[in-house]
């Protein structure tokens, strides 16, 4: 098998994984809006594709770099290793779709990349593994805590719904102003955020030491965006609370889809990125753009079915508890992107849904299914590692690579 064929196989496998992620992992955030009839299924699928692909381009670099470079020390992924790792991850995700127990793409891809990396003779990146394990273990309790607290506030009789929803919109605005967006131009040394970019564009006379905008001005810009969203949602709620809730739910779902694109795309492009500039004569940016196109294609062709199925589950949850789940998902996903950690959107969504559902009691919570899912996820991580390591060893031996 020629080197060119292997490179093409790795690229095709990456695009196939991007398609699968666009069809499945990026779709659930807009299901609540479909459940409350805020948007039709087909329009929701288009929104998923557009926002997820935009998120991939604007935020996908950090996770892609971690997956492609930081999981194994001392070696660089080869075209054959990338192809085996990506195909292994894609197979595990397909098994999850068939069995009805979604396999977290982050777990499967991480296990597969570590497997082929060690098969190449690399050394385990124990520091990275400890950080990932800590973050992954913190996701369920954080998701439950954030969504439970948010749902409790939204349902509490002492807090008028228009104030609660508007306040959450304001908080989301402040957070949105401070998420990392690589496409935003900022002064050297500043984190690329809307708040930093806006603050840097405001003339204040002589620059401060270091050349960056004052922290106070960044805070003011953040609060201004939060205040704008608060005011817009509150004005809408004064006319119709239900309409404001539906619109906020739709906007929040779009934001989480954007975030999921930024988080998930690195799983598909990370193993391909080490090939750029050598075996693959393109820049990492081109690989990221190709992955974004794959996400868009997956959303347009596969998301409608996922949206229709997941919306039935959210219909039972209700719009307010759905908002609570999505707020939690937005916060945790953006934290993972900031840290550059591959993260499972299924893990976040499920824990957030459980937390918001606990406000109404534990009757709808199946401990058995939760336990089975957790075991399946850990099993996917370990099994993907073993299959990728064994598969790469066999294939490379057969090809004499």
What would the two tokens of residue 380 be?
A: 């996917």
- Quick one: pLDDT at residue 370? 67
Mean pLDDT of the region 272-293: 85
- Quick one: pLDDT at residue 207? 47
Q: Is the pLDDT of residue 213 over 60?
A: no
311-346 confidence digits (pLDDT tens): 666 656 678 888 888 999 999 999 999 888 988 877
Q: What's the pLDDT band for 93 if we cut at 50, 70, 90?
A: confident
What would the two tokens of residue 210 be?
A: 């270091």
Mean pLDDT of the region 11-19: 88
Alpha helix (H) residue ranges in 183-214: 194-200
At 42, is the secondary structure helix, strand, or coil? helix
217-226 confidence digits (pLDDT tens): 888 889 999 9
- Quick one: pLDDT at residue 5? 81
- Quick one: pLDDT at residue 69? 87
Do the strands 123-124 and 72-73 form a parallel or antiparallel pair, or are they unpaired?
antiparallel
Question: What is the spatial distance between Cα 392 and Cα 395, in angstroms, rounded to a whole number?
Answer: 5
- Quick one: pLDDT at residue 211? 47
Residues making up the chain, counted from first to last: 401
Highest mean pLDDT among 75-84, 183-192, 202-211: 75-84
- Residue 53 · residue 254 · CB < 8 Å: no
- Quick one: pLDDT at residue 99? 65
> Mean pLDDT lowest for which of 156-165, 182-191, 196-205?
196-205
- Residue 386 · residue 115 · CB < 8 Å: yes
> What's the pTM?
0.87
Total number of domains in the chain: 1
Q: Is the pLDDT of residue 290 over 80?
A: yes
What would the two tokens of residue 98 be?
A: 């068939």
* Residue 183 DSSP class: T
Full domain range(s) for residue 87: 3-399
Residue 279, Cβ density class (10 Å: 0-12 exposed, 13-18 middle, ≥19 buried): middle
Q: Is the pLDDT of residue 298 over 90?
A: no
What would the two tokens of residue 361 be?
A: 């009691």
- Residue 123 · residue 72 · CB < 8 Å: yes
At 75, is the secondary structure helix, strand, or coil? coil
Q: How does the average pLDDT of the chain come out, rounded?
A: 84
Q: Is the pLDDT of residue 266 over 70?
A: yes
**What DSSP element (H or E) covers 2?**
none
- Quick one: pLDDT at residue 205? 47
Question: What is the spatial distance between Cα 204 and Cα 383, in angstroms, rounded to a whole number?
Answer: 57
Question: What is the spatial distance between Cα 124 and Cα 135, in angstroms, rounded to a whole number?
Answer: 18
Interaxial angle between packed helices 105-119 and 241-269, expressed in degrees from 0 to 180 and rounded to the nearest 10: 10
119-175 confidence digits (pLDDT tens): 999 999 999 999 999 999 898 899 889 989 998 888 877 888 889 999 999 999 999
């Amino acid at each position: 098998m020629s080197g060119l064929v292997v490179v093409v196989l790795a690229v095709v496998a990456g695009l196939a994984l991007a398609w699968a992620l666009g069809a499945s992992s990026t779709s659930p955030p807009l299901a609540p809006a479909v459940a409350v009839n805020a948007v039709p299924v087909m329009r929701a699928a288009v929104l998923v594709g557009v926002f997820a692909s935009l998120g991939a381009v604007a935020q996908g670099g950090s996770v892609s770099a971690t997956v492609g470079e930081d999981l194994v020390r001392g070696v660089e992924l080869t075209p054959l290793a990338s192809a085996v790792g990506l195909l292994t991850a894609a197979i595990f995700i397909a098994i999850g779709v068939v069995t009805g127990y979604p396999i977290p793409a982050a777990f499967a891809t991480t296990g597969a990349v570590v497997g082929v990396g060690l098969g190449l003779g690399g050394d385990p990146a124990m520091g990275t593994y400890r950080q990932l394990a800590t973050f992954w273990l913190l996701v369920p309790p954080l998701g439950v805590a954030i969504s439970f607290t948010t749902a409790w506030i939204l349902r509490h009789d002492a807090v008028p719904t228009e104030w609660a929803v508007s306040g959450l919109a304001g908080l989301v605005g402040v957070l949105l102003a401070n998420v990392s967006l690589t496409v935003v131009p900022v002064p050297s040394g500043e984190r690329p955020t809307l708040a930093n970019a806006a603050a840097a564009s405001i003339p204040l006379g002589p620059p401060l030491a270091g050349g960056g905008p004052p922290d106070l001005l960044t805070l003011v810009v953040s609060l201004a965006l939060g205040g704008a969203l608060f005011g817009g949602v509150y004005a809408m709620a004064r006319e119709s609370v239900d309409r404001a809730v539906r619109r906020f739910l739709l906007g929040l779902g779009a934001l989480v889809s954007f975030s999921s694109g930024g988080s998930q795309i690195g799983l598909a492009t990370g193993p391909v990125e080490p090939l750029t500039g050598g075996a693959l004569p393109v820049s990492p940016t081109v690989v990221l753009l190709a992955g974004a196109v794959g996400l868009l294609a997956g959303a347009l062709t596969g998301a409608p079915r996922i949206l229709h199925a997941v919306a039935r589950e959210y219909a039972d949850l209700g719009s307010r508890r759905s908002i609570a789940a999505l707020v939690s998902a937005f916060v945790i996903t953006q934290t993972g992107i900031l840290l550059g950690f591959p993260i499972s959107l299924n893990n976040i969504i499920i824990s957030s849904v459980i937390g918001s559902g606990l406000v109404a009691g534990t009757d709808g919570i199946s401990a058995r299914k939760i336990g089975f899912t957790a075991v399946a996820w850990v099993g996917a991580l370990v099994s993907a590692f073993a299959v990728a390591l064994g598969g790469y060893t066999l294939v490379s031996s057969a090809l004499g690579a």
